[in-house]
Amino acid sequence: MAQTPHYQLFIDGTWCDGSDAQVMTSQNPATGQDWATFACASATDVDTAVSAARRALSDPKWRDMTQTARGKLLYRLAELIEQNATHIGEVETTDSGKLLAETASQTAYVGDYYRYYAGLADKIEGAVLPIDKPDLHVFTRAEPIGVVVAIVPWNAQMFLTATKLGPALAAGCTVVLKASEIAPAPMLEFARLIEKAGFPRGVVSVITGDAENCAIPLTRHPDVDRIAFTGGPETARHVVRNSAENFAVTTLELGGKSPILVFDDADLDGAANGLIAGNFGASGQSCVAGSRGLVHRSVLNDLINRIRDKMADVAIGDPLSSETHIGPLCTDAQVRNIEATLEKARQQGATIHMGGHRVDRPGNFFAPTLVECATRDTETLDIEMFGPVMSLLPFETEDQAIALANDSPFGLGSGIFTQNLARAHRVSSRLKAGICWINTYRAVSPIAPFGGYGQSGYGREAGLTAIQDYTRSKTVWINTSDQPMANPFVMR
């Protein structure tokens, strides 16, 4: 019988169990069976990790490392990630239930994010200012913001870590990475690569644990300078409140209920594929899931039929198998939430065209579900279910489609399917969302920033300017005159 893996914390370059010996168990969502245990950080361990990050910030091994040398470490980390992508993918799939085809390929692609920021590490520049006073040479320099807390969820953890850790390390910051207490194993595997890449001790620590013992003391810690959080709005509210204790600069990338607008001139095969990718990719466990399909009434029935035809041969099963298209959800709580929400939708007059039920096998499996909503008030149009549920609602006019799309407290992703270029520009400019995909969906790149409006958070990750969020600008004034500074009490 195979031994159950046990994952320790990685703090200040050392692997250790938590100081209070708290251990949690992780279940394999595909079987419902316990498969690994992991140590949980206490408030004492949090303090050790943050103190190590503060010390490393001033350690000449990191402080005096050239920007080019920091970039080389990130290049090395990118290589290690690519070399170990399959292994980390297998661990993530076992721990979270996501398809191996997705976890392994996403992990490999994450290497490009670290390469992108490796290349930017020695492009962080200051400027000489054309100051309006004589005999003064004034310039700015960008310095590391300090100790960063990066908090990532379980659903895309390697990707969401890269969008935080890459720019933070390139800027010269130190980082305490807090993995979700749900399915944290891949983050602790990733810590081995950080260690192997050769980052000095304390520059990166990787911990996990519950809210009371780990997350709260971490986000309140007085030595934390910046918090980069991805998760749900309710947890984010606690993070913001906690940051009032240390005035840490905070960015939030939160949930979504993203609309996909399908106009009557759209390529309906492409639109069906976009809706399928936006709703059933990652089994719907994506913050940018396009779970509000707004469809011109004249093409709604045709589109429903195309979606049903395309989903007819989709295989639900073992996420480690290359034959599987849809795997389990990460937790049973997600399944129960979907069941309750769909029951309410039925009572509200919604039509379930496919799915709508658990799959009859062990594990947290739920059938891909297509809901035609009778009215805007149907509950599936408002609740982020984090599962494979697509809701479609008809519209009549362009203005109505835009109004329905913006009728949400969220504003992370959006999609438009139309062959009218003028309409694409016109509608995209009016959507209240941080991302707008046109005739495609769920595309990402290290070059392209992303983030939300409203309850989808604030701040942007990825892209060129993200690295600036991990620096502070210092202005330096130098008197170039050979005369002493004038007496301020002698008026001339």
Whole-angstrom CA distances from 351 to 242, 367, 373 are: 43, 15, 7
Q: Is 278 exposed, middle or buried (0-12, 13-18, 19+ CB in 10 A)?
A: buried
Q: How far apart are CA 371 and CA 349, in angstroms?
A: 10
Residue with tokens 């890269």: 162
Contact assessment for residue 351 and residue 330, using Cβ atoms and an 8 Å cutoff:
no
User: What letter does residue 11 receive in the DSSP assignment?
Assistant: E
Q: For residue 423, how many other CB atoms are within 10 A of its CB?
A: 16
Residue with tokens 């003064």: 136
Strand order in the sheet with 249-253: 14-16, 9-11, 204-208, 174-179, 147-151, 226-230, 249-253, 457-458
Q: Is 287 exposed, middle or buried (0-12, 13-18, 19+ CB in 10 A)?
A: buried
Q: Residues 253, 372, 384, 461: which is the catalytic one? A: 253
Angle formed at CA 345 by CA 342 and CA 348, multiple of 5 degrees: 160
Whole-angstrom CA distances from 406 to 185, 432, 448 are: 37, 6, 23
Whole-angstrom CA distances from 62 to 158, 192, 397 are: 24, 19, 58
Cross-strand pairs, 434: none
Measured torsion, CA atoms of residues 253, 256, 262, 268, in degrees rounded to the nearest 10: 80
372 is catalytic: no
Q: How far apart are CA 360 and CA 367, in angstroms?
A: 10
Q: If we measure between CA atoms, which residue out of 112, 85, 122 comes closest to residue 101? A: 85
The catalytic residue positions are 253
